Amino acid sequence: MNPSARFAHQFDDAVIIPALGQQLNFGFEPDPIAQAVGTYFDAPAIDLDGYDRIVVCASGGKDSIACLLTLIEQGVDMSVIELWHHRVDGNEGSTLMDWSFIDSYMTQFAQAFNLPLYFSWLKGGIEGEMLKQDAYSQPHIVETPSGIITLDRDTTRNPPATRRRFPQQSANLATRWCSSAAKIDVGRRAITNQDRFLGSKTLFVTGERRAESSNRSKYNQLEPHAVDRRNGRLGRHVDAWRPVLHYSEQQVWELIERFRIEAPVPYKLGWGRSSCMTCIYNSPAIWATIRKYFPHRARPIAAYEDEFNCTISRQRINVIDLSATAEAFQITDMDALMQADKHEYTLPIFTPEDRKWQLPPGAFGSEGCGSV
């Protein structure tokens, strides 16, 4: 990669995601007097009635599910809620990163709560962006109430760029660009390119928790979103709220149990987080489990690592060799194991009345398998 190309992709992440720092508080707990108007370090309960719509970013993991359930327990008007799911593999055929069943699961989850669901994605997904060479990033594609819109890139601001490597393990979103390119920027543009957000109040809900990392422990719980323009001519009022930010993992599972929602498949297999199946933060034990039960998902990752001469692991060995350094999980839930490789989700959303709700094996796990 030549120096100008390397700089280009860093510039892309730093500039094309404007004011991202407004969403991330990397300092210590701030003095409330110094906080911007509308910003609160702690805001576990807020007035939900003043919003025209509430967007819940739904990954299919326990924390995003807990966000919706928290809203329900706080008495939200369900008619203003919509679920958004960002397809990290895009919708053009890539199967490199995510769980095969996730689109089907999210569709059925939304139907179970009688909520609208809108998909959005970076064309080509993470794989397409990873393979970018002396080229511009692909458009964003967004489902809206009135149909699908395609959002092309502004090619006048930046030169073509090259990636040719996996996102790397880092809290810096220019380095761990999977989150910025495949999720954050997609969500930002989904808001800024729909007129229905103008002259109205929107609550944008995400599921980070302070207990997950020292970085997230410093997040504000309520603050103006990066695309907020409440005081400008657009009148686009957007608040970012993290309703489970103060929750422990035990509180999350207790909430899910109260609503009798079946633990999502990754946790039933032993994953402690429901991120991408082949997340760059997967521990050796997770890679060993993938190699044992889903070898067809590990081999393409290792092949790209060899092609790029750059591994995901900081140990500089590919995921196949990394998997040999740990023991795989012993998966006993055969229904979950079979579901993991299917595109259509066929398991229940809610635990049937004749069965006891069960805490999954992955609960309270310590194996790395999600971003921090």
Adjacent-strand bridge partners of 83: 56, 117
Among the ranges given (32-36, 260-264, 308-312, 330-334), the one the predictor scored with the smallest mean pLDDT: 32-36
pLDDT at 333: 98
Note whether 258 and 66 are within 8 A (CB).
no
Whether residue 196 is contained in a domain is answered as yes
Whether residue 270 is contained in a domain is answered as no
Residue type, 247: Y
- Span between the terminal Cα atoms of the chain, in Å: 28
Whether residue 199 is contained in a domain is answered as yes
Whether residue 361 is contained in a domain is answered as no
Whether residue 351 is contained in a domain is answered as no
User: How many other C-beta atoms are found inside a 10 Å radius of the C-beta of residue 134?
Assistant: 13
Q: What angle do CA 42, 48, 50 make, to 5 degrees?
A: 115
Q: Which residue, among 115, 127, 122, 111, has the nearest Cα to 345 in the 3D structure?
A: 111
Q: 219-274, pLDDT tens digit by residue?
A: 999 999 999 999 999 999 999 999 999 999 999 999 999 999 999 999 999 999 99
Whether residue 229 is contained in a domain is answered as yes
Tell me the CATH number at 199. 3.40.50
- Which pTM value belongs to this model? 0.89
Q: Which residue, among 276, 260, 253, has the nearest Cα to 362 in the 3D structure?
A: 253
Looking at the structure of the chain, the number of domains it has is 1
Whether residue 116 is contained in a domain is answered as yes
Note whether 84 and 56 are within 8 A (CB).
yes
Whether residue 60 is contained in a domain is answered as yes
The DSSP output letter for 214 is T
Average pLDDT taken over every residue of the chain: 90
Kindly state the helix (H) or strand (E) to which residue 363 belongs, with its residue range. none
The whole domain housing 245 covers 3-19+48-250
Average pLDDT over residues 342-370: 93
